[in-house]
Amino acid sequence: MSKEPSTTQRNPIPLANWTEEKFEDRFSFGLRSGELLHRSQSEYQEITIVNTEFGETLLLDGAMMTASAVEHYYHEMLVHPALTTTPCIKKVLVIGGGDGGTVREVLRYPEVEQVTLVELDCEVVFACRKHLRSMAVPWDDDRLAVVYADGAEFVRNGATSEYDVILVDGADPVGPAAVLFSSGFYADCKRRLKPFGTLASQTESPIVMREDFLRIVRTMREHFGRALPVFGPMPIYPGGSWSWTIATDREQWDHTMDFNNRRMVLAEQTCKYYNRYIHRAAFAMPNDLMRELG
């Protein structure tokens, strides 16, 4: 059990009106800001949480990760297209996602018996639990276990055929997070999935990070019989349009599914963005990407 780190907490102070992120010296994105809620330097990164136009906003090393007013676009699309179409969802593994939004969406389903969240940086979880309370993450749910470890190593060293669903809520494929988009990592994930299981991962912007997106989907297809991207908005990420990819070996996988799916009905009762119509439309692929991916 990791102990909560002692960090120097600052009293909320006004910022200079804007929180700005620069992406690869190609794009700049800013939000009008209010109070600084948290800033600390962990072993791995600088963690900042600030009030912005989109609510409490988490930045890691200056990059916007999540914001309470818009995070549902991302987390609902990572989780629900996979969980509504997987035969069994009793045991779920989440890699990354220390803000808790992904596990919150998973825990909406009574069928889920166990969720394991593997997050490298415990300080991210501690900061988000304290300052992103409006995200309403059920951290005390008995079904949730939080492990502070390297996600790739966790998957590599584990037993086979253990999980029904693996969700990868990783950062961009650069630096330490690059391994979460590698061929070896997907091979390890497949080994840890039960028969008919599902892997879902965020797969970057199909516009701003087009080559990364194409490479990641192709790599997933090297290991799974089917890997289909879904598309949706994410206002605080470069380009504003994002992708997630769902991979499985189920030959008869109906990704558009029955509109009377009982899990879909459950999800629609609580989700802000995701519903049966969004689900079906999200699998529609633009012509240029279709030509590239087939």
193-202 and 163-169 strand pairing = parallel
CA torsion sign for 53, 132, 71, 217 is: positive
Residue 5 CA to residue 23 CA, distance in Å, equals 30
DSSP-derived letter for residue 196 is E
DSSP-derived letter for residue 181 is G
Task: Please identify which of the residues 121, 164, 169, 188 carries the catalytic annotation.
Answer: 169
Residue 77 CA to residue 240 CA, distance in Å, equals 14
Residue 88 CA to residue 92 CA, distance in Å, equals 10
Residue with tokens 């019989």: 225
Instruction: Enumerate the H helices of the chain as residue ranges.
Output: 71-83, 101-106, 122-131, 151-157, 183-192, 210-221, 262-270, 276-282, 287-293
Residue 215 CA to residue 140 CA, distance in Å, equals 38
Residue 13 CA to residue 33 CA, distance in Å, equals 11
Residue 260: helix, strand or coil by DSSP?
coil
Cβ count within 10 A of residue 157: 10
163-169 and 91-96 strand pairing = parallel
**169 annotated active-site:** yes
Residue 255 CA to residue 248 CA, distance in Å, equals 11
Catalytic residues: 169
